Amino acid sequence: MSAAIPAAELEALRCPVCNARCRPDPVCSRCGVDQGPWRAVLVKAWELRTEGWRVLLGGDASRAAELAKQSLRLHGTGSARALGWVAAATISPAPSDGA
Ligand SMILES: [Zn+2]
């Protein structure tokens, strides 16, 4: 996977081991832990919510809600929660059969 965490999001992250600010290098400059596997999960979550916003803008709120749920399972971000809320509010109620 060649995707990387966007710089703005990376700057907000802290090493899960020592709480040092994350740098572009996946090896923590303070404790030396390899953050690569952890970052791969964060990238997947970012891809899922990015795709979620894209499909929501395309009109598929149900798919966007599912992508938000999948993203939240990996990384609980405000963006993923917002996607889930907006998608849920956008989903049309099931059509009534008129009975
Ligand atoms: Zn560290």
| Residue 97 forms part of a structural domain | no
Segment 5-22 mean pLDDT: 88
Cβ count within 10 A of residue 87 = 23
Q: What is the DSSP string of 14-34?
A: B-TTT-PBP-SSSB-TTT--B
Domain membership flag for residue 70: yes
82 inside domain: yes
Is residue 29 assigned to a domain?
yes
Question: How long is the chain?
Answer: 99
Q: Is the pLDDT of residue 1 over 50?
A: no
pLDDT tens digits, residue range 35-85?
999 999 999 999 999 999 999 999 999 999 999 999 999 999 999 999 999
Cα of 24 from ligand 1 centre, angstroms: 13
How many domains are there within the chain? 1
Single-letter code of the amino acid located at 9: E
Residue 18 structural domain? 7-90
From the CA of 33, how far away is ligand 1's center (Å)?
6
- Residue 95 or 65, more confident: 65
Q: pLDDT at residue 96 above 70?
A: no
For residue 93, is pLDDT > 70?
A: no
CA of 94 to the centre of ligand 1 (A): 49
Asked if the structure places residue 99 within a domain, the reply is no
pLDDT of residue 94: 61
Q: What residues have CB less than 8 Å from 71, skipping those under 6 apart?
A: 45, 46, 48, 49, 52, 77, 80, 83
14 alpha carbon to ligand 1 midpoint, in Å? 8
Distance 20 CA to ligand 1 centre (A): 5
Range 95-99 average pLDDT = 61
Which tokens sit at 28? 């923590």
DSSP output for 28-65: -TTT--B-HHHHHHHHHHHHHHHHHHHHHHTT-HHHHH
| Distance in Å, CA 34 to ligand 1 centroid | 8
